[in-house]
A and B are shown apart, each in its own frame.
Chain A
Amino acid sequence: MDFTFISGQLFTGLSVGSILLLAALGLALSFGLMRVINMAHGEFLMVGGYLTYLAAQWAGPTLGDAWLWAAFPLAFLGAALLGAVMEFTVIRRLYGRPLDTLLATFGISLILQQAARQLFGSTGVPVTAPAWLGGALQLGDVTLPFVRLFVIALALIVLGGMWWLLNRSRFGMHVRAVNQNREMAAALGVNTRSLDLLVFALGAGVAGVAGVGLALIAPVNPTVGAAYIVNAFLVVVVGGVGSVLGGAVAAVLLGFVTALAEGFTSVSLAQAILLVLIVAFLQWKPRGLIPTKSRALEEA
């Protein structure tokens, strides 16, 4: 195992971790704030991916390589709208019943996957990245493809934006207030109902943006969301529920470990080992890397 190989694997791991992070950010929002287990979250990622494909089909001929900039708002708004509809019709009725949200959203994910299968076929649709993302940065012997650098930058920008939104904006203050004490926040005039809706839609939208990054790296197929969902949940659990920073660290670690383990053993064995390692890690820190401080006797 030489240096070039390992740094190449680490870089791939970083870009995989970036997408995982974007997927987990939305989960952490809805899980941390509303205690909703959204098994359909991966499908927001899928929707973002398909919308990127459509953006390339529709806007590609007229806008040229600039279609990518049209894809971001399209994927964000499309996924956010879907999220809002879901919150309004189903999730809203299930607050305080986390395990039931898990089952209901799994049902929704089945419906969305089948819809995607009928609309786009069961094989993946390829998205051709714009020409300016085609090259690679050469650092000594290590090759860093621009597409993967772009995905990493995207994750950093979204992470920064999210941090600002949660810690510096009025909206974020309300979110944190509801997270700490829902009844008290409501009594002080925060409209918790519409906040739930907004937060859920925002999380869905971020997953949609992750879908753009995903589409640039690999073809989009109906089960792409299902492939990410368990890992995304593990990121949330390992990072500590409700902790954006913990999630970021966990996502990058997960990406690194997968990529490195894949270098040394087979892909499937690496994944199996990783999952077992995570369970072992939770023995040591059952509340994640960065646990939220609470004196509660139990957490849902």
Chain B
Amino acid sequence: MKLSTSTMAVIAVLIALAFAPLYLGAYPLTLLGRVLALSIAAVGVMVVWGRAGILSLGQGLFFGLGGYALAMHLKLVATPRGELPDFMLYNGVEALPWFWAPFASAPFALAMVLIFPAAAAGLVAWLMFRRRITGVYVSIITQALLLAFVTWLNGSQGLTSGTNGITDFQTFLGVNLRGPDVANGLYWVTLLFVALALGGTALLLRTPFGAILTAIRDNENRTRFLGFNPAAFKIAAFMLGGLLAGVSGALYTLHLGTISPAMIGTAFSIELVVWVALGGRASLIGAAAGLVLGQLAKDRISSAAPDAWLYVMGSLFVLVVLVMPQGVAGLIRNRRRAPAPAPVPQNPVTREVSDAV
């Protein structure tokens, strides 16, 4: 198999990242690990938005489902046998809620990290795409569902610990999460998942499945007329995006040692999309790199000048959209291939067709 230059560059970067614990200090390494965990969700956004043309503003929902699935297990492990998690005691809950009980088992919780977000994404997608809801309606509905989830989390003190989120984890699969050697191990595990997500998605998008997603993005009706069922492909893409977001959420929860509604809300979900846009939504590497660099910049600027950060980020959103709709990856690609290809139209026939009525 012959590897392209960009693939080799990515492998080189991943190898360089694998040795990061040797040359990075404790804080930069932790930060990098967290950001890499988030980049898995960005890969999902690239599949859903960049490839299938579905702009979901509710990825935090699936991210949160993965994160909470793991957090519930970690919380139960940290709670003495036969007792209730501390926040339930404070809120007067007398028996463990039924949906908490199975999470005491690690295999069940780990399976749920994958199944829960993917199934939820499948259901949401089935409801939307079956009725041919498209474009901005999808964005608004996914945002509404995320808001419903976050609102419910915030309001259910006794069941989910509400705004405080689930915290105080001790061990995971017998490993003490507060031990001195955990940082490196967790970092490598995260990097492994990033490599798997990137590689697996890249291979998948090279199959006919990927080609049909592109066809749906560029012209859904024409794809339908060719005999494909766009809804089925969009549901599959959405499930993959949800699955990746869920894995990302679980890893992020491990890194941070907590998960709370504030971490997954509207701001998080839109930010995620914008970092992908900045990197280049049509490019896997662009999406992941955009998120990593964006989050690193956020850490730097928001700790140096907390008040300035929202101005910087807001202006960045506007500039990305105005100046480089295909992101940095698009700019690089255009420079390499002259003359520059036209930017991918979001919905090329819409105007002609609707205006012709």
Binding site for B on A (CB under 8 A): 31, 37, 90, 93-94, 96-104, 106-111, 113-114, 118, 181-183, 226, 230, 233-234, 237, 266-269, 271-276, 278-279, 282-283, 286, 294-300
Contacts and interface: CB of A to CB of B under 8 A. Distances in A.
B308 to A, nearest CB: 9
Contact of B318 (A108, A118, A268, A295): A108
B55 A99 contact: yes
A85 B274 CA distance: 23
Interface in B103-150: 127, 131-137, 139-141, 143-145, 147-149
Contacts of A108: 314, 317-318
A279 B314 contact: no
A294 B354 contact: yes
Main secondary structure of the interface of B (DSSP, over half): helix
* Closest 3 A/B residue pairs (Cβ): A268-B155, A107-B317, A275-B148
Contacts of A183: 355
Nearest to B135: A300
B133 A282 contact: yes
A299 B350 contact: yes
B322 interface: yes
Given A230-B144, A300-B350, A111 B311 contact: yes
B277 interface: yes
A103 B136 contact: no
Interface residues of B, number: 53
Contact of A114 (B55, B140, B310, B350): B310
Contact of A298 (B270, B274, B325, B354): B354
Contacts of A99: 55, 135-136, 139, 346
27 contacts: A31-B136, A94-B322, A98-B135, A98-B136, A99-B136, A99-B346, A102-B139, A103-B274, A103-B321, A106-B317, A107-B274, A107-B315, A108-B318, A110-B310, A114-B310, A266-B155, A271-B147, A272-B149, A272-B155, A275-B151, A279-B145, A294-B354, A297-B354, A298-B221, A298-B349, A299-B135, A300-B135
A269 B152 CA distance: 6
Contacts of B133: 282, 286
A161 B134 CA distance: 33
Interface in B274-311: 274, 277, 307, 310-311
Given A108-B314, A271-B151, A275-B145, 19 more contacts: A101-B321, A102-B139, A104-B317, A110-B317, A114-B310, A114-B311, A114-B314, A268-B155, A272-B149, A272-B151, A275-B151, A276-B145, A276-B148, A278-B144, A279-B141, A283-B127, A286-B132, A297-B353, A298-B354
Contacts of A111: 310-311, 314-315
A103 B354 contact: no
Nearest to A267: B155
A255 B77 CA distance: 43
B346 A97 contact: yes
A268 B152 contact: yes
Nearest to A115: B311
Contacts, number: 157
A268 B31 CA distance: 33
B316 interface: yes
A114 B307 contact: yes
B230 to A, nearest CB: 11
Contacts of A295: 357
A107 B134 contact: no
B321 A298 contact: no
Q: Which of B136, B139, B152, B310 has the most C-beta atoms of chain A within 10 angstroms of its own C-beta?
A: B136
A283 B131 contact: yes
Contacts of B139: 37, 99, 102
Nearest to A279: B141
A276 B147 CA distance: 10
Nearest to A276: B148
Nearest to B353: A297
Nearest to A40: B314
B218 interface: no
Nearest to B277: A103
B141 A272 contact: no
A275 B322 contact: no
A274 B144 CA distance: 10
B170 interface: no
Nearest to A102: B139
Contacts of A294: 354, 357
Nearest to A183: B355
Contact of B140 (A237, A266, A274): A237
A230 B315 CA distance: 22
Contacts of A272: 148-149, 151-152, 155
Nearest to B138: A99
Nearest to A110: B314
Q: Which of A31, A99, A109 has the most C-beta atoms of chain B within 10 angstroms of its own C-beta?
A: A99
Contacts of B320: 103
Contacts of B149: 272
Nearest to A106: B270
A233 B144 CA distance: 9
Contacts of B55: 99, 102
A268 B145 contact: no
A255 B284 CA distance: 43
Contacts of B132: 286
B125 to A, nearest CB: 12
Contacts of A274: 148
A100 B223 CA distance: 24
Contacts of A226: 266
A104 B318 contact: yes
